[in-house]
Structure 1
Amino acid sequence: RLPKRSTIATIISKAANMEKSLTDIMETEYPQFLPVVSQMEHLLKIYREYKRKNNLMDYDDLLLFLRLLLKEDGEIRLQLGNRYKYIMVDEYQDTNTIQSDIVRYLGSLHKNVMAVGDDSQCIYSFRGANFKNMFDFPVHFPEARIIKLEENYRSTQSILAMTNALMDQAREKYTKCLFTRRGGNEIPLVINTGTERDQATYVCRTIETLLDEGQQLRDIAVLFRAGYHSFELELELTRRNIPFAKYGGFKFMESAHIKDLLAHLRVIINKGDVLSWGRLLRLLKSIGPGRSQAIIDWMKEEHVSAARIDEWPGISKEREGLTKLAKLMGALSTPKVMPEKGVELAIAYYSPFLKERFDDYPRRQQELEQLISMASRYKNLRAFLDDLSLEPPTSPVDLRPLDKTDYLTLSTIHSAKGLEWRVVFIIWLVDGRFPPGKS
């Protein structure tokens, strides 16, 4: 059988970011689907044609076509080079080859490029990140100056000594010696536990001891490589009534309710956004995939504006929902409506659907209301939606205890990057789990 839609999208995106064929990606990461690789290639062909006909690009296209444009059009390179005279790139170890090429082309005129990164911190190789970009930078920019930032302001020297010893074993590296002026002589402890249950019990007992000594739960974190690594621990924490929040699940923008709400705003900016139209129309009673496509085709053929969608000559059950939708579209189309007000209007319209579709609607309502404060920073809806599309925020609120201010943090390493706590446990620190077997 074919993979699920989300897996198909992941395979296609990986192939684009790593500049490999679908077969290459599937051989290494999805061998179970190799029997349908020809069907996958056919789907990719249809997908590309659909995007071309509907003037659509996905995020990978934005990178690929920008690189192609910069490579082949000297005039564009000159214009952008004059506009962006100083280029600074953070987390350079997490860039892929396409992004590295874009930086190189943008900086080809003036050579004013500063890249900040750590060759020991590449955590996005699964997305195509290539830490070798760090080592290739002086090759692309021969006059580059390498500045080592070796002083650490967060950790104690005992932790840094362990880190230095570990990274000295790397085959490819920039040689460096991390140090700190901070005090503290706590030595990292390595604890061997017999089973996963023993591990969970040890962590919980130690946390209870720390609480008895006056530590706060908010100052304690448990880190792991993958979300499922904490399941046994979550059960033990629940048994002991220790409140916790887990980070590292769905991203904020990937939640169904966020996508639903934003679909109502996207069609105001781009009335030809058939994906958003399909999403918001299928929320209405008596309108399924086939009927929603018929309405979209009718709007396109008859040049019907969003605010006149209630003129659809369908059955009465359909028109009831379309009348309310048309009213919202009319309000959102008003030129003077600021993004903040637009989000408020969309939430008011969408709330009944939210309550009907999700049992945990109070939490999801909170997340929707966060969009109001985000939108208040923008002067127009297009800028707001563009930023959400290109730099989507993440939110931990989805798994936070609603009525508790003090709770233990459970987090994947990816979600914990850049954060700090007074006490940290790293569980499943064994080969095959951390790092995983594929590393």
Structure 2
Amino acid sequence: MQTINVCWFRRDLRLNDNAALYHALRDGLPVLPLFIFDKNILNKLEDKSDKRIAFIHAALLEMQEQLVKLGSTLEIFHSTPVEAFKTLLKKYTINKVFTNHDYELYAKERDEDISLLLKENGTAFHSFKDQVIFEKDEVLKDDGSPYTVFTPYSKKWKAKLKEFYFRSYPVEKYFNNLYRQSPVDIPSMNEIGFATSSTTIFPSKELDEELVKKYSAQRDFPGIAGTSKLGVHLRFGTVSIRQIVAQAITLNETYLNELIWREFYQMILWHFPKVSMGKAFKSDYDTIEWKRDEGEFIKWCEGQTGYPIVDAGMRELNATGFMHNRVRMIVASFLSKHLLLDWRLGEAYFAQKLLDFDFAANNGGWQWAAGCGCDAAPYFRVFNPYLQTQKFDPQLTYIKKWVPEFQEFNYPKPIVEHEFARKRALEVYGSALKKDAGIT
């Protein structure tokens, strides 16, 4: 059997500036590029028109086109990772498997299983940092403990940043070490159990530098095309975080801060794994008695709350898989504080719908909005949807696009009155937190 190394792609779907691929190609043996459509993940997706699978499929086709030109090919499985590697181990003598770190709970468990399987077969498993600039214990307080507040974390992050950390891996130098074989067919969307959609248009992976220069002034206005929409590309690694950070440093510090927020939440996930198990970061918030009202939750999901800015956001999400970040905060606050519905319901709904869904950022954002996360706004800060509209969509550009009937008779009345909801939230939150603190 042919002796090879394997580069296993997961959330790093590109050939350029890829840490694992660079180290694999430099190791000496021919490198087989591998991707697995993981049944453990896909079988849990109820929406068989999931845009994320279409995005991944499109990225793989682009990678395959590049590899074929280089005389190589992706080896693709629609399987569980364990079964895929068992098949590969029968087909090849695998010396080493190279991949990039993934920090989510399932990913860590998966990698432990694969590492054990490979070890039993005399194969080494090597994993590298790739989707962040700093990870795990690389940015800590002076006493060695993790940060739980963003601003001091971001200052330490910036102080540590040197050109070395965002230097690109020169993968192209070593492409001649790719394993050579005839192209392997990539399974179609239908073959992996998902519908093909020709109507979905994904955002460009090119960073619009002029847009980023204006980012500070425009980013909060959903009616303006003022954000990069690179979230999905960073999520699936079709662009390199090192490349984007290198550009952000020279263009706009506010935009750089957003990239640091992404790493802050990854760090929180690593040091406080309870957040991946449905627990509030601030444990006393787990005592809040949330309402149970499926009807209100459905109206929130469908964008029928009677609050135009909230409804616009939910309709945009349902239609496109995207929601403007300012509006994400508004709709999340509305669910957890106006409706007093458990923030975990919203977190799960976003996980189903967001094209750029990333567990760490999604969980961090929802806990921030509900008041129970690290560095969260105090629980008594309740977004007023009307004031948010006046401030960030004053011409109603965004609302008119997604809720054109908002001034018509058939538009629903507000699901709850704002001032009543605000007072109720303060009472319920305050009572739960006092009770947890032993205050009567």
- Sort the TM-score into its range (normalised by shorter chain): under 0.3
Higher normalized helix content (fraction of residues): 1
Structure 2 length normalisation: TM-score? 0.26
Specify the structure having the higher radius of gyration (Cα): 1
